[in-house]
């Protein structure tokens, strides 16, 4: 069930610490926090597998993730799903719909999560700086997407998985969570879709990394045992 609550004086609380690893993104989030301070915002609680929005629905708002993990995805005509990203606290949902009248993809909760609704047109009209802040979010997302395109185009399967785990560790660490231990909320199939790998390839890559002592895997729980060697692996020409 979708829960909707009104927030009046806590709009900045959910943004505190909601950043990624890079200083640029932290500053973008702080700027948005200051801008929205005291603005009444609506927030929504969703359970796993519930949609924030679906592709093709009329776009009315952007959504800032306050808690939980979400995936964004496209569905082909034959029903195949392509994961385009995994979003956590501090990430914006719906940026790819700017300039069009409907949402461009699906956004789905991977566990119990909360998003804050930002009515785009209303906030652009009442806060002159809001559009500029959104542009900064959009530019940062484009740069991140370009980095992942390079990753998928140049790295082996093991390197892609390592790159993903190190990136996730950095993002979680910036939110105050452990950089060594994580619980992957997405399925192995979802991870494979994002990394352009088959399910069995992801499974084998995780097993190889565990055999090398780089990580420990127990179901969805991943422990980074040797991040230094994982970084070294990314510098090699090919890792199978």
- In this structure, what token pair is assigned to residue 151? 């990753």
Provide the b/e sequence for 196-215 (b: ≥16 CB within 10 Å). ebeeebbbbbbebbbeeebb
Whether the per-residue pLDDT at 25 is higher than 80: the answer is no
Report phi then psi at 98, rounded to 5.
Answer: -65, 135
- Burial class of 189 by CB neighbour count within 10 A (0 to 12, 13 to 18, 19+): middle
Asked if residue 130 and residue 13 are part of one domain, the reply reads: yes
- Would residue 240 count as lying in a domain? no
The residue out of 132, 150, 168 marking a domain boundary is 150
Contact indicator for 158, 233 with CB cutoff of 8 Å: yes
User: Among 132-146, 148-162, 220-234, where is mean pLDDT lowest?
Assistant: 132-146
DSSP 202-236: HHHHHHHHHHTTSEEEETTEEEES-HHHHHHHHHS
Give residue-wise pLDDT tens across range 122-149: 888 888 888 888 888 888 888 888 888 8
The residue out of 91, 125, 150 marking a domain boundary is 150
Report phi then psi at 153, rounded to 5.
Answer: -85, -15
- Burial class of 150 by CB neighbour count within 10 A (0 to 12, 13 to 18, 19+): exposed
Question: Cα–Cα–Cα angle for 56, 60, 63, nearest 5°?
Answer: 95
Alpha-carbon distance of 60 to 71, in angstroms, equals 20
Asked if residue 185 and residue 138 are part of one domain, the reply reads: no
Cβ neighbours for 123, distance < 8 A, ≥ 6 positions apart: 39, 130
Q: What is the average pLDDT across 86-91?
A: 90
Q: What is the average pLDDT across 64-83?
A: 92
The residue out of 150, 182, 211 marking a domain boundary is 150
Residues of the domain holding 200: 156-235
Asked if residue 160 and residue 118 are part of one domain, the reply reads: no
């Amino acid at each position: 069930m979708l829960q909707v609550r009104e927030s009046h004086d806590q709009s900045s609380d959910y943004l505190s610490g909601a950043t990624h690893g890079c200083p640029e993104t932290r500053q973008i989030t702080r700027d948005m926090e200051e801008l929205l301070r005291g603005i009444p915002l609506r927030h929504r609680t969703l359970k796993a597998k519930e949609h924030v929005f679906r592709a093709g629905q009329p776009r009315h708002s952007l959504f800032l993730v306050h808690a939980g993990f979400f995936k964004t995805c496209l569905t082909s005509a034959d029903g195949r799903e392509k994961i385009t990203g995994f979003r956590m606290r501090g990430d914006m949902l719906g940026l790819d719909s700017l300039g069009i009248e409907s949402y461009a993809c699906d956004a789905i909760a991977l566990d119990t999560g909360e998003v804050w609704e930002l009515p785009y047109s209303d906030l652009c009209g009442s806060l002159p700086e809001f559009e500029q802040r959104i542009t900064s979010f959009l530019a940062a997302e484009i740069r991140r997407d370009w980095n992942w395109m390079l990753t998928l185009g140049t790295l082996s399967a093991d390197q892609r998985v390592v790159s993903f785990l190190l990136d996730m560790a950095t993002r979680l660490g910036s939110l105050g969570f452990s950089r060594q231990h994580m619980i992957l909320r997405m399925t192995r199939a979802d991870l494979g879709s994002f990394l352009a790998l088959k399910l069995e390839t992801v499974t084998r890559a995780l097993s190889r990394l565990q055999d090398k002592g780089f990580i420990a895997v127990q179901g969805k729980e991943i422990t980074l045992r040797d991040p230094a060697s994982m970084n070294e692996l990314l510098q090699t020409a090919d890792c199978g």
